[in-house]
Amino acid sequence: MNGVPPGGNGQGLSRQGKTLLSGVDPAGRAERVADAVPVMDRTLYLCPSPLYGYGLERLLARLAGFSHSAVLCIEADPELFALSREHFPPALNNSQKLRLTNNGEAETLCALLRREWGPRFFRRVEMVRLNGGWQLHSTLYDMLADSLRREIALDWGNAMTLTKLGRRYIHNALRNLSLIPNCHSLRQLSFGSAPALVLGAGPSLDKTLDGLQARFGRALLAPEKRLFRIICVDTCLPALKERGITVDLAVILESQHWNLEDFVGLSGWNVSAAFDLSALPRSAAVLAGGLFLFFTPWTHLNIFERLGAAGLLPASLPPLGSVGLSAAMIARRLTRGTIITAGLDFSFTLDSYHARSTPGHKKRLRRHNRFTGLLNTEAAFGGAVTPAVSKTGGQVFSSPSLRNYRDLFEREFAAASSDSRFFDIAGSGLPLGIKTLAPEAAFDILSAGNSIADNTPTASPCTDNPVLAEKLRTFIRGEQNRLTLLLNMLTGESAMDYNALAALIDECDYLWAHFPDYAAADRRPGKAELESGAAISFLKRLRVEIDPFLKLLKLVLQ
- Catalogue the E-assigned strands of 106-167: 124-127
pLDDT of residue 556: 92
Helix axes 302-309, 498-507, angle to 10 degrees: 70
Same structural domain for residues 444 and 475? no
Domain boundary among 414, 434, 455: 455
Q: Cα-Cα-Cα-Cα dihedral of 75, 77, 83, 85, to 10°? A: 40
pLDDT of residue 456: 44
Same structural domain for residues 193 and 315? yes
Q: Give domain status of residue 2, yes or no.
A: no
Q: Phi, psi (5° rounding) for residue 83?
A: -65, -45
Same structural domain for residues 39 and 58? yes
Same structural domain for residues 116 and 228? no
Q: Give domain status of residue 3, yes or no.
A: no
Q: Give domain status of residue 176, yes or no.
A: no
Q: Classify burial at 495, counting beta carbons within 10 Å of its beta carbon; exposed 0-12, middle 13-18, buried 19 or more.
A: exposed
Same structural domain for residues 124 and 201? no
Digitized pLDDT (tens) for each residue of the chain, 558 residues in all: 444 444 444 457 888 888 888 888 899 999 999 999 999 999 999 999 999 999 999 999 999 989 999 999 999 999 999 999 999 999 898 899 999 999 888 888 888 988 898 878 899 999 999 999 999 999 999 999 998 998 888 788 878 888 899 999 999 999 999 999 999 999 999 999 999 999 999 999 999 999 999 999 998 998 988 999 999 999 999 999 999 999 999 999 999 998 899 999 999 999 999 999 999 999 999 999 989 999 999 888 999 999 999 999 999 999 888 999 999 999 999 999 999 999 999 998 877 788 888 888 777 777 777 777 666 666 656 667 888 899 988 888 898 889 989 988 998 898 654 468 999 999 889 999 999 999 999 999 999 865 453 444 444 455 678 999 999 999 999 999 999 999 999 999 999 999 999 999 999 999 999 988 776 666 788 888 888 888 899 999 999 999 999 999 999 988
- Catalogue the E-assigned strands of 95-235: 98-101, 124-127, 184-185, 196-199, 229-233
Q: Give domain status of residue 167, yes or no.
A: no
Domain boundary among 115, 137, 156: 156
pLDDT of residue 272: 95
Q: Phi, psi (5° rounding) for residue 374?
A: -85, -15
Which pairing describes strands 43-48 and 124-127: parallel, antiparallel, or unpaired? parallel
What type of residue is 450? N
Q: Give domain status of residue 8, yes or no.
A: no
Q: Give domain status of residue 503, yes or no.
A: yes
Domain boundary among 455, 489, 513: 455
Using left for φ > 0, alpha for ψ between -120 and 50, and beta otherwise, residue 272 falls in beta
Same structural domain for residues 117 and 214? no
- Catalogue the E-assigned strands of 136-290: 184-185, 196-199, 229-233, 249-252, 273-276
Which pairing describes strands 395-398 and 386-389: parallel, antiparallel, or unpaired? antiparallel
Same structural domain for residues 250 and 298? yes
Count of structural domains, the chain: 3
What type of residue is 232? C
Instruction: Determine the length of the chain.
Output: 558
pLDDT of residue 2: 46
21 membership: H or E segment, kind and range: strand 18-21
pLDDT of residue 550: 96
Q: Provide the domain limits for residue 488.
A: 466-557
Residue 207 near residue 351 (C-beta atoms within 8 A): no
Same structural domain for residues 394 and 528? no
pLDDT of residue 181: 93
Same structural domain for residues 217 and 282? yes
Residue 132 near residue 21 (C-beta atoms within 8 A): yes
Q: Give domain status of residue 169, yes or no.
A: no
Same structural domain for residues 293 and 440? yes
Distances in Å between the Cα of 473 and the Cα atoms of 215, 284, 403, 467 are: 51, 21, 43, 10
Which pairing describes strands 43-48 and 395-398: parallel, antiparallel, or unpaired? unpaired
Please report, for the domain that includes residue 48, its CATH number: 3.40.50.150
Same structural domain for residues 310 and 342? yes
N-to-C CA span, the chain: 75
pLDDT of residue 6: 46
Burial code (b: 16+ CB inside 10 Å, e: under 16) for 183-211 equals: bbbbeebebbebbbbbbbbbbbbbbbbeb
